[in-house]
Chain A
Amino acid sequence: MSRAEASEVSEASEGSRASGISEVSEVTDVGVGSGTAEVVGLWKPSPLWALGLLRNELVTTLRRWRTLALLGVLAAVPVLVGIAVKIETSDGASGGGGGPAFVTQITNNGLFLVFTALAATLPFFLPMAIGVIAGDAIAGEANAGTLRYLLVAPAGRTRLLLTKYATTLAFCVVATLVVALSALIVGSLLFPLGELTTISGTRISFGEGLGRAFLIALIVAASLIGIAALGLFVSTLTSSGIAAMATTVGLLITIQILDQIPQLHAIQPYFFSHYWLSFADLMRDPVYWDDLFRNLGLQGLYAAVFGTAAWARFTTKDITA
């Protein structure tokens, strides 16, 4: 259908709005009925059009009330941590040990609230949010029945799965950045900013500190790749969005608990959460990369294994929902 014809369609529909419903059938003959042969024969769809679904998926996900609520909770964590630290230290006493990493340094430098907030949300809040989005990805569509219409459109099973995974990964980045930005704002409002001291004891400028904070946020987002793939796989197994979300979050909690049991140390390096807190190594000078790379490698392994499993499952599944 050419541009000229498209404008004809919109003109036509405007015309019918003006003249009432009785003209509907006549009008749409012009619009929808005319192009049958053209569509079949002359038309080459652009490969770029395949990205339309991804764009729509991103917009749709970010517009959901549920997504906004999750992001709101994540944004609230740094606020709570910041206020708590402020109250705790307002009487001059320095906070003792305990609490998430970097928490004692916040009073000296608001930038540390970014690291603290990420350290506080990474074990549970962030992966839980990812588990909700990933678990709901396919199962939620199956639950609502919209999956069959997407596939009949035809979205294509592989394309739909890739779109869902890409959207989940985008959400990982967005969720992490929401935590980091919220922490940066709260930190700069409540505490002084300036040069900071690394774990190794060297001093780096505020600009470099900001750069490392951004890098840490990206590493934290990348740490969620594994659970995103796991959630997507679970999502292909069931037609109930709630069940998929609950299973994914349940797996998350189970793994976190198993990671604390010393007797299991032989298999612990294969838990997706095992190297999560290695992002703190980015605050060393020089940066200690070993665990960071192990973490990224492990996330890649999870993405490959569970991504393939999800694909194998979803492309052969009977869609009866």
Chain B
Amino acid sequence: MAELSTAEPDTGPATGPEAGPDTVIATRALTKRFRGGQLAVDGLDLAVPAGSVFGFLGPNGSGKTTTIRMLMGLIEPTSGTARVLGQAMPRATRTVLPQVGALIEGPALYGFLSGRDNLLRYDSADPTADPRTRRARVAAALDRVGLTAAASKKAKAYSLGMKQRLGLAAALLQPRRLLVLDEPTNGLDPQGMREIRSLVRELASDGTTVFLSSHLLDEIEQVCSHAAVMARGRLIIQGPVAELAAGARGLLVVTTPDPGDAARVLKEQGMADVVVEEDRVTGEPPDRDLAEVNAALVSAGVRVRGFGLERASLEDAFVALTGEGFDVAG
């Protein structure tokens, strides 16, 4: 706690880097092998910069949740170290976790308690939470996620979306330096997703670092400043989202009633990874003037309805990195 308490007490969270290292989460060679011998996380070196909205991506079973559980001190790493807010986990759970709000693998609630009583219980579990402000903080957290009207209902009567909101409210009971949100928009309707995203942006603008795991790539692309991609327990890549997306090349898309001929001509023109889907032919654009490519198509008698480049999305980067995707399916 030494580093933390020497920080000026009135330093606004949004003003520049905090005392101590700039990384809020830092792991070194973090590894978890479960008792069955299964390697869930393999030599993970993760660095989450302070103040970032960090997207944590990976297919199901890639080790994201195991990583999050190790960061939260729920699972002991087999080897390697994890530091959260500058302190080693799981040893420093008592000082670190009160400053961390977490939503792990969906919400878990006491069905026989009301929404409000659920939050009161989670708040009383935190020995650093002031009981005198407990009710007020619970009311504020309920308000923030839009559950005030349903606060007295039993949690078992909540819809999945409402449970998700209540889980988020539990993460927001105290001012946090770090929020760890595992699939926070699961089960929410589009309106709810938008609200959560704007909540995440708002929290981030207050200076809270947000560590967000999701399988929805457009979600990550919309809200995250940084991202990391995991596959089969290993970290594939991490960095600012803009750089990650730039790493993947755009896609040339040709719409035509003659997809077979078009694919042949495009291959001749040097296009790689050609995929035919009904009247769409897509692939990596060749290194030459695309006008020439189009002219070649037309002169070969291919009727072209549409011809254009699709900007590379994070999804393309993701697919390219994890090696799961189009050329397999085609």
A25: chain B residues at CB < 8 Å are: 144, 198-199, 202
Count chain B residues whose beta carbon lies closer than 8 angstroms to a beta carbon of A: 71
B326: chain A residues at CB < 8 Å are: none
Q: Does A156 contact B (CB under 8 A)?
A: yes
Q: Does A80 contact B (CB under 8 A)?
A: no
Known: A36-B207, A37-B9, A151-B74. A159 touches B109 (CB 8 A): no
| 43-62 of chain A: CB within 8 A of chain B | 43, 45, 49-50, 52-53, 55-56, 60
User: How far, in angstroms, from A7 to B148 measured CA to CA in the complex?
Assistant: 18
User: How far, in angstroms, from A33 to B9 measured CA to CA in the complex?
Assistant: 15
B106: chain A residues at CB < 8 Å are: 145
From B74, B123, B136, B199, contact of A152 by CB (8 A): B74
CB-nearest residue of chain A relative to B175? Answer: A36
Pairwise interchain contact A319-B130, C-beta atoms closer than 8 A = no
Q: Does B174 contact A (CB under 8 A)?
A: yes
Pairwise interchain contact B174-A39, C-beta atoms closer than 8 A = yes
A27: chain B residues at CB < 8 Å are: 140, 143
User: How far, in angstroms, from A13 to B100 measured CA to CA in the complex?
Assistant: 23
Interface 1/0s, chain A 285-297, versus B by CB < 8 A?
A: 0000000000000
Known: A145-B105, A152-B97. A52 touches B127 (CB 8 A): yes
The total of Cβ contacts below 8 Å across the A-B interface reads 190
The interface stretch among B10-18, B233-241, B298-306, B315-323 is B10-18
CB-nearest residue of chain A relative to B126? Answer: A153
CB-nearest residue of chain A relative to B108? Answer: A145
Known: A31-B140, A32-B141, A56-B124. A154 touches B7 (CB 8 A): no
Q: Does A318 contact B (CB under 8 A)?
A: yes
Q: Does B38 contact A (CB under 8 A)?
A: no
B167: chain A residues at CB < 8 Å are: 149
Pairwise interchain contact A33-B108, C-beta atoms closer than 8 A = no
Smallest CB–CB gap between A319 and chain B, Å? 4
Q: Does B72 contact A (CB under 8 A)?
A: yes
Residue with the highest number of chain A CB atoms closer than 10 Å, among B74, B136, B143, B207: B143
Smallest CB–CB gap between A198 and chain B, Å? 45
Known: A40-B7, A64-B112, A319-B69. A56 touches B175 (CB 8 A): no
Pairwise interchain contact B135-A10, C-beta atoms closer than 8 A = yes
Interface 1/0s, chain A 60-102, versus B by CB < 8 A?
A: 1001110000000000000000000000000000000000000
User: How far, in angstroms, from A60 to B91 measured CA to CA in the complex?
Assistant: 30
Interface 1/0s, chain A 199-211, versus B by CB < 8 A?
A: 0000000000000
Pairwise interchain contact A153-B125, C-beta atoms closer than 8 A = yes
Residue with the highest number of chain A CB atoms closer than 10 Å, among B12, B97, B106: B97
Pairwise interchain contact B144-A24, C-beta atoms closer than 8 A = yes
Pairwise interchain contact B13-A60, C-beta atoms closer than 8 A = no
CB-nearest residue of chain B relative to A140? Answer: B110
From B94, B130, B146, B177, contact of A21 by CB (8 A): B146
Smallest CB–CB gap between A295 and chain B, Å? 35
B121: chain A residues at CB < 8 Å are: 56, 60
A interface with B by C-beta (< 8 Å): 1, 3, 5-7, 9-10, 12-13, 16-17, 21, 24-25, 27-29, 31-43, 45, 49-50, 52-53, 55-56, 60, 63-65, 144-146, 148-156, 159-160, 316, 318-320
5 A-B pairs with the lowest CB-CB distances in the bound complex, closest first: A145-B108, A153-B125, A154-B97, A52-B124, A6-B133
Beyond A50-B127, A153-B126: 13 further Cβ-contacts under 8 Å? A13-B148, A24-B146, A35-B175, A36-B207, A37-B9, A37-B12, A52-B127, A56-B120, A56-B124, A64-B112, A148-B72, A148-B105, A149-B102
